[in-house]
Amino acid sequence: NGIGLLHVFNVHLGTAFLERRQQARKLINAAILNNQELAGARIMLGDFNEWTRGLTTRLLASHLTSADIRTHLPRSKTYPGVLPFLHLDHIYFDDALTLERMTLHRSRTALVASDHLPLVADFQIKK
C-alpha cells in the first residue's frame, strides 16, 4: 500500500532494577531497536515496571520518543486497573511516526483481561 512497514515491540520488563536495566540494554542493541536491517517505523510499548524516570526510561528515551500520557489525559496511572496508582505502562515511538491521539481504556472487559489499564494510541506514519 506504499505506507511501509511498522514494527511493534510489546514488552513486559522485569520487576527487579538490575533485570530491567539488562533488558533495556538488550532492547536498544543492534539486534533489536538499532538493527539496520529492520526497515520501517518502530513502536515499543508495554509494562516497563518503572514508575519513575529510571535507567530504562532514560535509555529508551535516548533512542525513541516517549508518548507522554500526561499531555493527553488528566490521569496517567495504569496499574492496578481497578484503582490505579502507578504509571508502569508506556509507549515509545521513532521519528517516522506522529502521535495523533492517546487514551486510557477503562471497561469491565479491560479489567478482566489484565491487571493494567490499556493505553490506546493512534499514530500517523510520516511520508
pLDDT at 69 > cutoff 60: yes
In a domain, 97, yes or no: yes
In a domain, 41, yes or no: yes
86/49 Cα distance (integer angstroms):
9
63-76: string of b/e by CB count within 10 Å (b at 16+)? ebeebebeeeeeeb
In a domain, 62, yes or no: yes
**How many structural domains are present in the chain?**
1
pLDDT in the model for residue 1: 47
Structural domain of 110: 6-125
In a domain, 30, yes or no: yes
113/34 Cα distance (integer angstroms):
32
In a domain, 1, yes or no: no
pLDDT in the model for residue 85: 59
In a domain, 63, yes or no: yes
Find the mean pLDDT for residues 91-103: 92
Mean model confidence pLDDT for the chain: 82
- The residue type of 64 is L
User: CATH code at 58?
Assistant: 3.60.10.10
pLDDT at 77 > cutoff 90: no
